[in-house]
Chains A and B, each alone.
Chain A
Amino acid sequence: MTGLTTTASLIYLISAFCYVIGVHLMRSPKTAKKGNGLSFVGMILAVIMILIEILVSGRVQVGAWIALAAGLALGIFYGFSKAKRVPMTDVPQLVSLFNAVGGGAAAAIGAFDYMTANGHLPLVLSIPVVLDIVIGGITFSGSLIATGKLSGKVSGKPITFPGSKFVNILVVIAIVAAAILMITQVDNSWYLVLALLASLAFGLLMTLPIGGADMPVVVSLLNAFTGLAVAFAGFVINNQVLIIAGALVGAAGTILTLQMADAMNRSVANILAGGFGTDDSQSVSPAGQTDVKVVETSADDIGLQLAYAHNVMIVPGYGLAAAQAQHEVAELAKLLTDNGINVDYAIHPVAGRMPGHMNVLLADVNVPYDQLKQLDEANSMFENTDVSLVIGANDVTNPLARESGNDISGMPILDVDKSKSVVVIKRSMSSGYAGVPNPLFSLPNTKMFFSDAKKGLQDIIASSKEYINQ
């Protein structure tokens, strides 16, 4: 080892250390921001070190400098300005977009190394190169579709077409064939093109048939994939910081994926398999609610009910996020608390578009942190709750989850049915994405208010003001 490579190894080790400790600090809300900062310091260290290394090597052509500088400048400008301006409701799709480009970068590096190998790629390198290209390609196109689905630019409904199963099999065969050809007979650009195209196609085919509600799990899984692609890129260019950071993200993404799937009481295999044309998740009892008796209520009644309550629990769900009604909900809560009514929020782990997303949305509108109650704490409070205000949440409040024999059996839910009365704001009687009817809606202490979350809350705020200010 020369002096430079020793120094470089040391700096990369420090950089990797920053990521590990950084992620560790992100586990608590108090230290999370510091953790992210430390991780960023690690990133800067690694970038400075690689810059010194390639400067010292003196091999970089003018054209490469221009390409590198132009790419970096444009990328930093685009990434930074996007991230600065994005409204908090759109964070999930932006995270997915950043994941896509990460996979794209890994695939580009893999393709580069394959092309420059001139037929001299030893097996131990050709395997990671191929994995890099394939996984990077899948995450790139898959994450772009996920971004589209989360932002509504691509339909959130499962998209399938006749014969999709057959096409899937063809694509997988193409990937495997291209991979084997690339590994055994290096240096044929057509194999590279085939591998890239087939991987991109696979990413599309894998994500298109998965419903919008499952997208967060898919994003997290693809995030883990990108981590692995980056780690393989590390093998290829023999740089340990890529291997360590990539593996770290791969593991982190895997765990997050499992936790999310758990919270939704679904297996990852089930979510992905649903996408491969078996579509069992769709055919399940399309809301067999014949003749369910529900009591409808009005904004005026709700305002009155809230004004005379002591303890109010707000239960926000996907509908709130979709309607972007977080400002209204915070306004209503503030109105009530200012008049001496206790208001808390019951946050289900998978409420919103992504686990933890609801917390981000509510934090964005300055909801006091101590009003946000997690599942267990909230459930211990429902007995003393006068009014539970359920806004666009369905499956996470469905008491059927406590019984066996249905799709959501065993899923942890918020026990809103235990509160003295329940008001559900919802646009229609349609069941949630699990397709299970919700008996909560027809309980004697439940009233339904059919409205868009934003509009409905504005009306309730108006009527509450009348009763409170008297």
Chain B
Amino acid sequence: MSEELYANLAIFVLSLLVGFEVMSKIPSTLQTPMMSGANAIHGVVVVGAFAIAAEANNWLLYVLTFFAALFAAINVAGGYTVTDRMLGMFDRKPAKKEEDKK
């Protein structure tokens, strides 16, 4: 096993453990935004789209690069925006809103 792969595997396993630890016992109130937030994070796949762009040198590969970039960008931009909108509602001071209305 190469040293590189060994390091990557170690990072993978440790990250799984961190993930389990950080996520255990989250309040059910926040499960939807939490899922949406985690969803936004896997938009980091956009880094992969950049990485393959560096290797693309024919039409078929350009098309794959395009789709990887398109999909990943939707995931990042949309994921963070909708999560932010949801969490903004939890953040809101209801009392102040009432005053605004009056």
Tell me the A residues contacting B by CB distance below 8 Å. 15-16, 19-20, 22-24, 26-30, 32-33, 35-37, 39-40, 43, 46-47, 50-51, 53-54, 57, 59-61, 63-80, 82-84, 86, 88, 91-92, 94-95, 97-99, 101-102, 104-106, 108-109, 111-113, 115-116, 124, 219-220, 223, 226-227, 230-231, 233-235, 237-256, 259-260, 263, 347, 349-350, 352, 354-357, 359-360, 363-364, 366-370, 372, 374-375
Contact = CB atoms under 8 A, between A and B. Distances in A.
A60 B19 contact: no
Nearest to A247: B15
B64 A36 contact: no
CB-CB nearest 4 A-B residue pairs: A75-B73, A251-B19, A71-B69, A79-B78
A164 to B, nearest CB: 29
B67 A104 contact: yes
A356 B31 CA distance: 5
Contact of B74 (A27, A79, A226, A253): A79
Interface string B50-83: 1111111101111111111111111111111111
B74 A92 contact: no
A19 B57 CA distance: 33
B73 to A, nearest CB: 3
A255 B24 CA distance: 7
A80 B78 contact: yes
A60 B76 CA distance: 23
A80 B81 contact: yes
Nearest to B54: A54
Given A29-B30, A65-B53, A101-B71, A79 B37 contact: no
A350 B4 CA distance: 43
Among B8, B45, B46, B54, max chain A CB count under 10 A is at B45
Interface in B18-56: 18-20, 22-56
B41 A250 contact: no
